[in-house]
Structure 1
Amino acid sequence: MRSFEYVRATEVSDAVRLVSARPDAAYLAGGTTQLDLMKDGVLGPGMLVDITRLPLAGTERRGEALHVGALTTMEELAADPTVAERLPLVREALLKGASTQLRNMATIGGNLLQRTRCRYFRDPDVPKCNKRLPGSGCAAVEGVPRMHAVLGANERCIALHASDLAVPLVALDAVVHIQGPTGERRILLRDFYLLASESPDVENHLVHGELITGVEIPLLPAGALSGYLKVRDRMSYEFALTSAAVALVISDGIIHEARIGLGGVGSRPWRALDAERELVGSPPGTEAFRRAARVAVQDAWTLPGTAFKVELAQRCLVRELRTVSGVAA
């Protein structure tokens, strides 16, 4: 790890000013991914601005939305009673997303900004990585791509977005609150991320110096059914091969609202809007769920090592739709 300057900020404006003034500066919160990448030599900031003392932690119910401070930990959010009552798919994603030790360190803002687990990106000795070295190529396409993306991917980059939490949040139309050198702004989380196929080295719409200060999560309607299913190689701490966040509003035997997020398959947390439209107006049932699942992955771009994910993602989504709706297999 290269040497760096360490500064602790006491005000949001101070933190933004410090990072904005130096192109090699970065924010430091829980650091559960950032420090690993620094040790591996993938990241080498010249200055870290510690933001852990800023007043950006905690949750607050505001009407039919939950405002979550960016420095709230994953464990704190999972324990929030409003999340347990009105956002069970979010709670399940949090609990399945990391070990207890990591959940007590990792922040919500940091989780949304975590970098890909692509082994080729995380190894600076690999010369081909368009995400790390723009224009160099993609070693994953030529290598072992099992844990990579099939949606929002192409020969330029198949890096996978690893966050579990972001999957239900994009399905719920969560809004990210951002503070930067020119003021405050808000952006839908599903618009926040960029596709690896379009810009491998630029992952989101943050500009240098901008800081995520919070996330606004709309609550599900009372009576909505929801859940999060994660398929992985082992039940202990592991990243998703595929996952599905599902929320349904069903009345009089008809699906009136459907929200679907997919994880483990996209270069960004994937909102399956076409699959949602396929379900609305239909009675809940296996055939309707299968049609929606096929639509959800209809634009997949695969390699021999990732083709299995198309079928696996469909099965995962159908299973979770059955589970939340109570439809028998």
Structure 2
Amino acid sequence: MRRALVLGTASCALLAPALAVAQTWPDKPLRIMVGASPGGGTDILARMLADKFAPSLKQSVVVENRPGASNTIAADMTAHAVPDGTTLLLATNTGQAVAPHLLKLKYDPLKDLQPIGLVAVMPNVLVVPTTSPYRTLKELTAAMAAKPGTFKYASSGIGSTQHVGGEAFNLSTGLKSIHIPYKGSSQAHMDILSGQVEMMFDSTSSAMSQIKAGKFRPLAIAWDKRSPELPDVATLAEQGIKGADVQTWYGLYVTAGTPRPVVERLGAELARVLKLPDVQERIKGLGGEINPLSLEQFAAMNRAEYERYGKLVRDANIKAE
């Protein structure tokens, strides 16, 4: 009885600081780190979350863009931040599942970043500028076959899902196109629109605005189903190309070591925001889906995606150029 009492008292003593932090948190402004430049899909979603978090948390929430190194600069800063729950990271599978297999990092994405929740999943879409002579995927691949190694595809950086999608396409079709990396989708878009690069396997979250504006022509969806926002655009598989499906998912993370009550509070806040009708409509408008996951489910998905993309990187022989 006495031993149980002592253990119980000790447990309460250990829990007290964490509970105290949770009750007073957040006591200073928050920041959401983004590993891409302003205007891209990650930035759009991060600013949406910041706008929704601020009134509820009663603190200002700012978005800090740190593009480069396949989204890992922002992830590195989050991994090495004070674990007080005020430095968040809106990451994609680029930084969490692909880049670790290509770059030498100063942090462990599975150990140094605490998963909070899945924000959205967006299919990648193969686009060309509307000034392009290629109106269908069949026309594009025929031209690529006739001039091997001369077509270029853009990406938001080495190890991005756009990069992986392009190399998976090369592998699945037996064609060869040249990878041109940029520091974010918005920069890549400028060279596509100017005709310096022929195509891009972009996420719908960053490409949709250009598609709706009539500047990009979508040729194929890299998903196992058509996008509700682009119902007339056939999937790669429907057009005879299998094994090249690559999606972009967006997840929220915090520095590992953040007190569990704060982690749970962040998870609850994200779940609340993702239920808001205007948020659901915004993500749908970007061509994405919301698939709510618990903290544990998202952590399991994070690890599984790390392993899956590691295999894809090896199979497609993707290198950090």
> What TM-score results when the alignment is normalised by the length of structure 1?
0.24
Higher Rg of the two aligned structures: 2
Between Structure 1 and Structure 2, which shows a larger proportion of helix residues? 2
> What TM-score results when the alignment is normalised by the length of structure 2?
0.25
